[in-house]
Amino acid sequence: AEYENILVEQREAVTLITLNRPKALNALNAQVLADLIAALAAFDADASQGCAVLTGSEKAFAAGADIKEMAEMGFADMYGTDHFAGYERITATRKPVIAAVAGYALGGGCELAMMCDFILAADTAKFGQPEIKLGVSPGMGGSQRLVRAVGKAKAMEMCLTGRMMEAEEAERAGLVSRVVPAADLVEEAVKTAATIAGMAPLAVKANKEMVNAAFETGLAQGIQFERRLFHALFATMDQKEGMAAFVEKRAGNWTGR
Ligand code: HXC
């Protein structure tokens, strides 16, 4: 298959998917989503493939949802189409997907990494939910998954201040399984994926399913709740201001409206 914004490569039983919008730091637009969903569905359906690795570039796993695509959207665009609900289809993949994160994993990028089954981080990785700086909030599960991954205190601080968490802190907090030198990241992720791909396929599916069952109780409602509020923020003037300010490279001027 041909994809516009990702590269897909098979290394024996491992499917390596690389986000490939380098000029926008892999910002997640509608085409990236369509490509990712198609590639993961093809991976899931291909009996020769046992585990996938999702990675970005050295500089950015993904710097978030595409702010330029969202800047002019309002509540009707967001709620009317249930914008970003499509990303949840990534979690429907029944075989494991490992996120290999180097550089920025911000906003939707952090949320995308957390949708994978676990995160392997380069020592250069930086995680954050900076949406509040744009006058909005996480909208792809971040407020729910981050709390479950690192606990309320760190998640709340990160969502309210937008500060980034470096790889070492992320490992200590339980957001990532391991930190490896940046130069070894993809190789190490592919090696780990190959180990998984070498296990019994049904056991792999069952293990993934049961670990997720422990993690997800109540999650669906949490995500639904988050998405409605995220959409509602697109009815505010501060969302327009925050995103316009980003595009114009200046500080936001909030009105609280
Ligand atoms: C669109 C983006 C982008 C984004 C970066 N770019 N992030 N475009 N959407 N999320 C673009 C920049 O506009 C710029 O394009 C180019 O990528 C390089 O970025 P720079 O800012 O010049 O790079 P740098 O100075 O190194 O700073 C890196 C950065 C910064 C700290 C990651 O780009 C940044 O703060 N990005 C936004 C992070 C963010 O707020 N993410 C959350 C998005 S909201 P030009 O054309 O100028 O070269 C979100 C909502 C999630 O994710 C909720 C539902 C999904």
Question: Probe ligand 1: pick from 25, 111, 231, 234, max atoms within 8 Å of CB?
Answer: 25
CA separation for the pair 179, 170 (Å, rounded): 9
Residue keyed to tokens 């990675």: 55
- What ipTM does the predicted assembly reach? 0.97
Q: How far is the CA of 47 from the centre of ligand 1 (A)?
A: 37
Q: Is 153 known to be catalytic? A: no
The token pair at 219 is 């999650």
Sequence-distant (6+) residues with CB within 8 A of 85 are: 227
What's this model's pTM, rounded to 2 decimal places?
Answer: 0.92
Which two three-digit tokens encode residue 3?
Answer: 């994809």
The enclosing H or E element of 12 equals: none
The whole-number mean pLDDT for each consecutive block of 10 residues of the chain, a chain of 257 residues, reads: 92 98 96 96 97 98 96 94 91 97 98 98 98 97 96 98 98 98 98 96 90 81 85 91 95 89
95 C-alpha to center of ligand 1: Å?
31
Q: How far is CA 248 from CA 71, 82, 173, in A?
A: 12, 28, 35
Active site residue 242: no
Look up 65 and say whether it is catalytic: yes
**Which is catalytic among the residues 111, 171, 188, 226?**
111
